[in-house]
A and B are shown apart, each in its own frame.
Chain A
Amino acid sequence: MIVDCHAHVRGPFEDRDDPWEQDRLLLEACDALGIDVACVSHLGTPRPATPDGFREVNRKMLKSLEEFRGRFWGYCYVNPGWTAEALEEIDYCLGADEDCIGVKLYNEYKINDPVVRPVIEKCIEHDVPILEHAGYSWVNIEKQPSISTAADIVDVGEAYPEAKLIVAHLGGGGDWEWAVRAVAAGPPNVGADISGSVVDEGLVEYAVEKIGDDRLYFACDMSMTAGMGKLQYSDISEEARQKIGGENFLKLIGREA
């Protein structure tokens, strides 16, 4: 079973002839590339997200789960700066649909900022993973001053051994060698997804060599052929390909294939 652990939906556009046109494009790609399930969040609200903003996009995400039952599993997106509202929203989304399987955090705060702790603890309470937008780069820093690095996520993984943490898009966050080394040096509850538009030869191989094949997760982050191309064409063992392709993520969220 192939599970893309990092994707995004748009939800219904009620004013269009086909309200689901955008989500169908993702599904079309999944079908063509052999992806059984895509784990999706909806981030289409101005940032920093307000409670009304993240509630609105999460409702759309939940509608997508319902419309395409079994093909999409969901992440609840919150801004941890709104502590009470964020915790309430996580409870709501995880209770509203059994296919909501985790929490997505973006760049409002670094994940090791103390303001994020209640959200981390809420995820531990629900035993769900956090997919954390991440990057480490020398450029465009001013555009995302609070983006988490892999090392920030490792910090949290060490402080909270029960947390399930995923460093997002090794191929979409700048210096992937830096990120790989950070995760490799981190605790076993921190892994990374291989998504992103960057398809550098050796990326997946280096990640497997340094991190091992138990903490890496297949994903595309909407760069569909980049993600699947890296999974299918990297020089790794078939066993590793199977684990990265879906087994590791299913194990993380406690689901069967």
Chain B
Amino acid sequence: MKFDCNAYLGHWYARQIRHNTAPELLSFMDSHDIDRAVVGSLSAVMYRNVQMGNEELAAEIEDYRDRLIPFGVINPTYIDWESDLDWCVDELGVKGIRIYPQYHSYEVGDEACEAVCEACADRDLICTLIQRQVDYRQSHPMVDAPDLVLDDIAGLCEAHPDITFMILNGLGYGGSRLITEAADLPDNYYIEMSRSSAFISKELKTVVDTLGDDRVLFGTGIPMKNPGPVFLKLKNLDISDEGKDRIFGDNLARLLDVQ
């Protein structure tokens, strides 16, 4: 089973995205043998009121809940955001959320971030951070959203051992505390591997060897990204077939408690 933890629906403000409705995304997933995906609203990232994006997502996936698993986008600097979070849990049925400090003007570990982490802990929600939604060099001239710092995320994981974190679109894990101090950090974080290198520096192997194949997740970034490179990385990763199965889907299914 291929269960993608890093997928999206909706629009991106700086570039046209194809395959970005639920039927189109499912067709795209079929063409790449991806069975299921965790999806968040891409539009919500840049909506002032992210909740409108969550509601769009809910309507979009209504007929496809067996394959598209929603995560809400939460902005803890916006008015009444906790109501958005409750709506995501009660109405959308999310088991996790995505937060975007770099687009919502707060810092990893600051007061707003702490508040949303505590809210996740209260509701037993997975908290997802995306180191970068797009390559920084492709920044829109009016938007400056530098990559999140992995060591800051490591500090967040350390400060909240009761929360499960997912880290998407990351690069440089090998030199970060997430790997170099993994033995001293809580085992509450899962790393999505789409940007880790399979060759030359072989960061992906380092990540798997350090965390174990049960804390690494298959993710592609579809439909923003071409999923092909991820397949090549996993094909060429020197671990057991059972380990690859865990990365491709078993780990995420376990995390989300789905069959």
A172 CA to B137 CA in the complex, in Å? 8
| A181-208 interface with B by 8 A CB criterion | 197-204
How many contacts A-B (CB < 8 Å)? 99
Residues of B within 8 A of A5 (CB): none
Contact call A139/B200, Cβ cutoff below 8 A: no
> Do most interface residues of chain B lie in helix, strand or loop, or is the interface mixed?
loop
Residues of A within 8 A of B140 (CB): 138
Contact call B137/A228, Cβ cutoff below 8 A: no
Contact call B137/A201, Cβ cutoff below 8 A: no
A223 CA to B230 CA in the complex, in Å? 12
Contact call B223/A201, Cβ cutoff below 8 A: yes
Contact stretch, chosen from A24-32, A121-129, A158-166: A24-32
The chain B residue sitting closest to A138, CB to CB, is: B141
Residues of A within 8 A of B233 (CB): 225
The chain A residue sitting closest to B139, CB to CB, is: A139
Contact call B139/A200, Cβ cutoff below 8 A: no
A243 within 8 A of B: no
User: Contact check: which of A33, A198, A202, A234 meets B135 at CB < 8 Å?
Assistant: A198
Residues of B within 8 A of A222 (CB): 200
A137 within 8 A of B: yes
A139 CA to B143 CA in the complex, in Å? 10
Contact call A233/B231, Cβ cutoff below 8 A: yes
Residues of A within 8 A of B141 (CB): 138
A155 within 8 A of B: no
Most buried by A among B134, B135, B137: B137
A182 CA to B65 CA in the complex, in Å? 43
Contact call B226/A230, Cβ cutoff below 8 A: yes
The chain B residue sitting closest to A25, CB to CB, is: B200
- Asked if A200 meets B225 with Cβ closer than 8 Å, knowing A32-B236, A139-B139, the reply is yes
Contact call A25/B199, Cβ cutoff below 8 A: yes
A223 CA to B16 CA in the complex, in Å? 24
Residues of B within 8 A of A80 (CB): none
User: Contact check: which of A140, A172, A175, A199 meets B229 at CB < 8 Å?
Assistant: A199
- Asked if A229 meets B223 with Cβ closer than 8 Å, knowing A32-B236, A139-B137, A198-B138, the reply is no
Q: How far is the CB of A172 from chain B (nearest CB, A)?
A: 8
Residues of A within 8 A of B236 (CB): 32-33, 225
Contact call A199/B225, Cβ cutoff below 8 A: yes
Residues of A within 8 A of B230 (CB): 225, 229
- Asked if A174 meets B226 with Cβ closer than 8 Å, knowing A224-B200, A233-B231, the reply is no
Contact call A202/B18, Cβ cutoff below 8 A: yes
Contact call A230/B137, Cβ cutoff below 8 A: no
Residues of B within 8 A of A230 (CB): 226, 228-229
A232 within 8 A of B: yes
B258 within 8 A of A: no
A197 CA to B228 CA in the complex, in Å? 13
A139 CA to B225 CA in the complex, in Å? 21
The chain A residue sitting closest to B142, CB to CB, is: A138
Most buried by A among B140, B223, B232, B236: B232
The chain B residue sitting closest to A226, CB to CB, is: B229
User: Contact check: which of B138, B144, B225 meets A201 at CB < 8 Å?
Assistant: B225
Contact call B226/A228, Cβ cutoff below 8 A: no
B160 within 8 A of A: no
User: Contact check: which of B16, B19, B137, B222 meets A140 at CB < 8 Å?
Assistant: B137
Interface on B for A, CB 8 Å cutoff? 15-19, 32, 134-141, 144, 195, 197-200, 221-233, 236
**Across the A-B interface, the 6 shortest Cβ-Cβ residue pairs:** A233-B228, A229-B229, A229-B228, A29-B199, A225-B232, A174-B137
